[in-house]
Amino acid sequence: EDKVVQSPLSLVVHEGDTVTLNCSYEVTNFRSLLWYKQEKKAPTFLFMLTSSGIEKKSGRLSSILDKKELFSILNITATQTGDSAVYLCAVGGGSNYKLTFGKGTLLTVNP
Amino acid sequence: DTEVTQTPKHLVMGMTNKKSLKCEQHMGHRAMYWYKQKAKKPPELMFVYSYEKLSINESVPSRFSPECPNSSLLNLHLHALQPEDSALYLCASSQEAGPGTDTQYFGPGTRLTVL
Protein backbone atom coordinates (compact mmCIF):
# COMPACT_ATOMS: atom_id res chain seq x y z
CA GLU A 1 0.00 0.00 0.00
CA ASP A 2 1.30 3.46 -0.91
CA LYS A 3 2.34 5.55 2.08
CA VAL A 4 3.34 9.19 2.64
CA VAL A 5 4.55 10.25 6.10
CA GLN A 6 5.07 13.85 7.10
CA SER A 7 6.91 15.13 10.13
CA PRO A 8 6.54 16.89 12.39
CA LEU A 9 2.73 16.81 12.57
CA SER A 10 2.75 20.27 14.11
CA LEU A 11 5.29 22.98 14.71
CA VAL A 12 5.17 26.35 16.48
CA VAL A 13 7.83 28.95 15.70
CA HIS A 14 8.41 32.69 16.00
CA GLU A 15 8.49 35.11 13.11
CA GLY A 16 11.90 35.14 11.47
CA ASP A 17 12.70 31.51 12.27
CA THR A 18 13.64 29.00 9.57
CA VAL A 19 11.68 25.76 9.43
CA THR A 20 12.20 22.43 7.68
CA LEU A 21 9.27 20.15 6.97
CA ASN A 22 9.83 16.52 6.07
CA CYS A 23 8.03 14.10 3.79
CA SER A 24 9.00 10.46 3.29
CA TYR A 25 7.22 8.08 0.96
CA GLU A 26 6.81 4.50 -0.17
CA VAL A 27 5.01 4.55 -3.49
CA THR A 28 5.17 2.09 -6.37
CA ASN A 29 6.16 3.57 -9.73
CA PHE A 30 6.95 7.00 -8.31
CA ARG A 31 6.21 9.86 -10.71
CA SER A 32 6.28 13.09 -8.73
CA LEU A 33 6.09 14.67 -5.29
CA LEU A 34 4.01 17.76 -4.70
CA TRP A 35 3.82 20.27 -1.88
CA TYR A 36 0.65 22.20 -1.13
CA LYS A 37 -0.21 24.89 1.41
CA GLN A 38 -3.70 24.74 2.93
CA GLU A 39 -5.10 27.58 4.97
CA LYS A 40 -8.82 27.69 5.67
CA LYS A 41 -9.98 26.36 2.33
CA ALA A 42 -8.47 24.62 -0.66
CA PRO A 43 -4.87 23.47 -0.94
CA THR A 44 -2.77 25.79 -3.07
CA PHE A 45 0.04 24.38 -5.17
CA LEU A 46 3.64 25.17 -4.16
CA PHE A 47 6.04 22.81 -5.93
CA MET A 48 6.21 19.68 -8.04
CA LEU A 49 9.43 17.67 -7.84
CA THR A 50 10.35 14.86 -10.17
CA SER A 51 14.16 14.77 -10.20
CA SER A 52 16.56 14.15 -7.34
CA GLY A 53 18.87 16.89 -6.12
CA ILE A 54 17.34 19.80 -8.02
CA GLU A 55 16.18 22.50 -5.66
CA LYS A 56 13.02 24.38 -6.48
CA LYS A 57 12.68 27.88 -5.05
CA SER A 58 9.90 30.39 -4.76
CA GLY A 59 10.71 33.39 -2.62
CA ARG A 60 11.40 32.22 0.92
CA LEU A 61 10.27 28.66 0.16
CA SER A 62 12.44 25.95 -1.31
CA SER A 63 12.18 22.21 -1.70
CA ILE A 64 14.36 19.32 -2.76
CA LEU A 65 13.77 15.65 -3.49
CA ASP A 66 15.96 12.63 -2.74
CA LYS A 67 14.69 9.69 -4.78
CA LYS A 68 17.32 7.34 -3.40
CA GLU A 69 16.33 7.90 0.22
CA LEU A 70 12.66 8.48 -0.70
CA PHE A 71 12.09 11.81 0.97
CA SER A 72 11.65 15.50 0.37
CA ILE A 73 12.08 18.59 2.53
CA LEU A 74 10.32 21.93 2.37
CA ASN A 75 12.27 24.86 3.80
CA ILE A 76 10.78 28.18 4.77
CA THR A 77 13.21 30.94 5.75
CA ALA A 78 12.40 34.16 7.63
CA THR A 79 8.93 32.86 8.49
CA GLN A 80 6.00 35.26 8.68
CA THR A 81 2.61 34.91 10.37
CA GLY A 82 1.09 34.49 6.90
CA ASP A 83 3.02 31.23 6.55
CA SER A 84 0.79 29.68 9.21
CA ALA A 85 -1.04 26.83 7.49
CA VAL A 86 -1.12 23.09 6.99
CA TYR A 87 1.54 21.98 4.53
CA LEU A 88 0.55 18.86 2.60
CA CYS A 89 2.90 16.52 0.78
CA ALA A 90 1.42 14.34 -1.97
CA VAL A 91 3.03 11.72 -4.16
CA GLY A 92 1.92 10.60 -7.61
CA GLY A 93 2.59 7.00 -8.49
CA GLY A 94 1.12 3.58 -8.96
CA SER A 95 -0.80 2.32 -11.93
CA ASN A 96 -3.54 4.93 -11.70
CA TYR A 97 -3.56 8.71 -11.52
CA LYS A 98 -3.96 8.99 -7.82
CA LEU A 99 -2.14 11.36 -5.49
CA THR A 100 -1.42 9.88 -2.08
CA PHE A 101 -1.45 12.60 0.57
CA GLY A 102 0.40 12.72 3.87
CA LYS A 103 -1.43 13.89 6.98
CA GLY A 104 0.13 17.33 6.75
CA THR A 105 2.25 19.50 9.03
CA LEU A 106 0.44 22.25 10.91
CA LEU A 107 2.78 25.23 11.06
CA THR A 108 1.98 28.08 13.43
CA VAL A 109 4.12 31.22 13.20
CA ASN A 110 3.73 33.52 16.18
CA PRO A 111 4.56 37.24 16.02
CA ASP B 1 -5.13 31.52 -14.79
CA THR B 2 -5.18 28.51 -12.48
CA GLU B 3 -8.68 28.93 -11.17
CA VAL B 4 -11.11 26.19 -10.34
CA THR B 5 -14.50 27.42 -9.15
CA GLN B 6 -17.02 25.55 -7.04
CA THR B 7 -20.61 26.26 -6.08
CA PRO B 8 -22.16 26.50 -3.63
CA LYS B 9 -19.63 27.53 -0.98
CA HIS B 10 -21.81 26.16 1.80
CA LEU B 11 -24.65 23.64 1.71
CA VAL B 12 -26.90 22.36 4.47
CA MET B 13 -29.18 19.47 3.57
CA GLY B 14 -31.40 16.92 5.21
CA MET B 15 -30.94 13.20 4.77
CA THR B 16 -33.86 12.96 2.33
CA ASN B 17 -32.77 15.86 0.11
CA LYS B 18 -31.25 15.72 -3.35
CA LYS B 19 -28.64 18.35 -4.14
CA SER B 20 -25.72 18.86 -6.53
CA LEU B 21 -22.25 20.32 -6.20
CA LYS B 22 -20.75 22.04 -9.24
CA CYS B 23 -17.17 22.54 -10.34
CA GLU B 24 -15.82 24.45 -13.33
CA GLN B 25 -12.40 25.07 -14.84
CA HIS B 26 -11.35 26.88 -18.01
CA MET B 27 -7.70 25.88 -18.12
CA GLY B 28 -8.21 23.24 -20.79
CA HIS B 29 -7.47 20.53 -18.24
CA ARG B 30 -8.62 17.06 -19.25
CA ALA B 31 -8.60 15.45 -15.81
CA MET B 32 -10.95 16.42 -12.99
CA TYR B 33 -11.25 15.06 -9.47
CA TRP B 34 -13.58 15.00 -6.48
CA TYR B 35 -12.10 14.78 -2.99
CA LYS B 36 -13.68 14.64 0.45
CA GLN B 37 -11.84 16.25 3.36
CA LYS B 38 -12.79 15.86 7.01
CA ALA B 39 -11.45 18.24 9.65
CA LYS B 40 -7.71 17.90 10.34
CA LYS B 41 -7.37 15.12 7.74
CA PRO B 42 -5.82 15.17 4.26
CA PRO B 43 -8.07 15.09 1.20
CA GLU B 44 -9.41 11.64 0.27
CA LEU B 45 -9.89 10.90 -3.40
CA MET B 46 -13.42 9.97 -4.47
CA PHE B 47 -13.53 10.08 -8.28
CA VAL B 48 -11.28 10.82 -11.24
CA TYR B 49 -12.54 11.82 -14.68
CA SER B 50 -10.16 11.70 -17.60
CA TYR B 51 -11.32 13.06 -20.95
CA GLU B 52 -14.88 13.20 -19.58
CA LYS B 53 -14.90 9.50 -18.71
CA LEU B 54 -14.92 8.13 -15.19
CA SER B 55 -11.56 6.42 -14.70
CA ILE B 56 -11.41 5.94 -10.94
CA ASN B 57 -14.13 5.38 -8.36
CA GLU B 58 -12.55 4.86 -4.97
CA SER B 59 -15.35 2.59 -3.71
CA VAL B 60 -17.58 5.57 -3.01
CA PRO B 61 -21.16 4.80 -1.87
CA SER B 62 -23.83 5.17 -4.57
CA ARG B 63 -25.46 8.07 -2.72
CA PHE B 64 -22.67 10.11 -4.37
CA SER B 65 -23.06 10.22 -8.15
CA PRO B 66 -20.54 12.12 -10.30
CA GLU B 67 -21.23 13.53 -13.72
CA CYS B 68 -18.99 15.21 -16.28
CA PRO B 69 -21.23 16.99 -18.84
CA ASN B 70 -18.24 18.43 -20.72
CA SER B 71 -14.52 18.97 -20.36
CA SER B 72 -14.96 22.11 -18.23
CA LEU B 73 -17.66 20.96 -15.84
CA LEU B 74 -17.89 18.37 -13.11
CA ASN B 75 -20.92 17.74 -10.93
CA LEU B 76 -21.45 15.65 -7.82
CA HIS B 77 -25.05 14.63 -7.24
CA LEU B 78 -26.00 13.91 -3.64
CA HIS B 79 -28.96 11.83 -2.48
CA ALA B 80 -29.92 10.29 0.85
CA LEU B 81 -26.71 11.37 2.56
CA GLN B 82 -25.81 10.57 6.16
CA PRO B 83 -24.57 13.01 8.84
CA GLU B 84 -21.11 11.42 8.59
CA ASP B 85 -20.93 12.66 5.00
CA SER B 86 -20.57 16.20 6.34
CA ALA B 87 -17.19 17.44 5.12
CA LEU B 88 -15.41 19.84 2.78
CA TYR B 89 -15.80 18.61 -0.81
CA LEU B 90 -12.95 19.68 -3.03
CA CYS B 91 -12.80 19.65 -6.79
CA ALA B 92 -9.44 19.66 -8.57
CA SER B 93 -8.20 19.56 -12.13
CA SER B 94 -4.92 18.73 -13.82
CA GLN B 95 -3.62 19.01 -17.35
CA GLU B 96 -4.08 15.30 -17.85
CA ALA B 97 -4.24 12.26 -15.60
CA GLY B 98 -0.82 10.83 -16.25
CA PRO B 99 2.94 11.06 -15.76
CA GLY B 100 4.45 14.53 -15.58
CA THR B 101 1.07 16.19 -15.30
CA ASP B 102 0.29 15.42 -11.71
CA THR B 103 -0.10 19.00 -10.49
CA GLN B 104 -3.67 19.34 -9.39
CA TYR B 105 -5.26 22.74 -8.89
CA PHE B 106 -7.97 22.82 -6.28
CA GLY B 107 -11.18 24.78 -6.08
CA PRO B 108 -12.21 26.54 -2.85
CA GLY B 109 -14.45 23.68 -1.82
CA THR B 110 -18.06 23.25 -0.74
CA ARG B 111 -18.62 22.95 3.00
CA LEU B 112 -21.43 20.36 3.28
CA THR B 113 -23.45 19.78 6.43
CA VAL B 114 -25.94 16.91 6.53
CA LEU B 115 -28.57 17.16 9.25
Distances A68 to A20, A94, B88 between C-alpha atoms, Å: 19, 18, 36
* Tens of pLDDT, residue by residue, chain A (111 residues): 889 999 999 999 999 999 999 999 998 888 899 999 999 888 999 999 998 888 999 999 999 999 999 999 999 999 999 999 999 999 988 666 678 999 999 999 999
Closest CA to B24 of B112, B102, B111, B107: B107
Judge: A98–B45 Cβ closer than 8 Å, yes or no: yes
* Candidates B59, B104, B105, B110, partner chain A, best to mutate (most A CBs within 10 A): B104
pLDDT for B36 beyond 90: yes
Q: In this predicted structure, what is the pLDDT of residue B102?
A: 75
